[in-house]
């Protein structure tokens, strides 16, 4: 994983983990052990899904950039399919509080996406630098230093 991708991943995962800890405390206070398990399951599911997808997309971008869009689409649809299967599997469970799980997962998704957007904005990593512009920038830099 490239350093700027790792920074973006950390920039999204850390605030989400903080929200997750708060959700664990609130879930336990509201619904006892089932609330704690619901919040824990929501946090682990969101952080795990987003971290794995970010890692796979970063790995693909570093090795085969031309496959970045198809792989990102495949990762996204796979993530949605797995989430649907998990939601159907735990639909009637009493082992965890599904309301706490839902609100925790929603909060973590929102925080992850917002924090990732902020981290990407701060990284100032260009996504595309055309060859002509890079040559002009190099020529301008060498002319300015003479």
Query: pLDDT for 25-74, tens place per residue?
Result: 999 999 999 999 999 999 999 999 998 998 888 888 888 888 888 999 99
Question: Which tokens is 33 given?
Answer: 């052990």
What gap in Å lies between CA 109 and CA 112, rounded to an integer?
Answer: 5
**Which pLDDT value is given to residue 143?**
53
Contacts for 103 with CB less than 8 Å, ≥ 6 apart: 23, 42
Task: Compute CA distances 67 → 40, 59, 60, 63, 78, whole Å.
Answer: 34, 11, 7, 9, 16
pTM of the model: 0.76
pLDDT at 104: 95
CA-based nearest residue to 115, from 18, 44, 41:
18
Given a contact cutoff of 8 angstroms between Cβ atoms, the answer to whether 31 and 119 are in contact is: no
pLDDT on residue 3 = 75
How far is Cα 88 from Cα 92, in angstroms, rounded to an integer? 8
Q: Shortest CA distance to 19 belongs to which of 122, 113, 119?
A: 113
């Amino acid at each position: 994983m490239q350093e700027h991708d790792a920074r973006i991943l950390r920039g999204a995962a850390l605030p989400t983990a903080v929200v997750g800890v708060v959700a664990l405390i609130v879930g336990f206070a509201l619904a006892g052990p089932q609330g704690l398990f619901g919040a824990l399951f929501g946090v682990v599911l969101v952080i795990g899904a987003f971290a794995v997808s970010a890692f796979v997309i970063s790995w693909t971008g570093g090795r085969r950039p031309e496959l970045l869009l198809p792989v990102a689409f495949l990762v996204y649809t796979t993530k949605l399919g797995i989430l649907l299967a998990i939601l159907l599997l735990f639909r009637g469970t009493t082992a965890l509080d599904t309301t706490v799980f839902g609100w925790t997962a929603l909060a973590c998704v929102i925080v992850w996406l917002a924090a990732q957007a902020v981290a990407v904005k701060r990284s100032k990593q260009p996504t595309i630098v055309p060859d002509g512009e890079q040559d002009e920038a190099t020529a301008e830099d060498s002319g300015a230093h003479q």
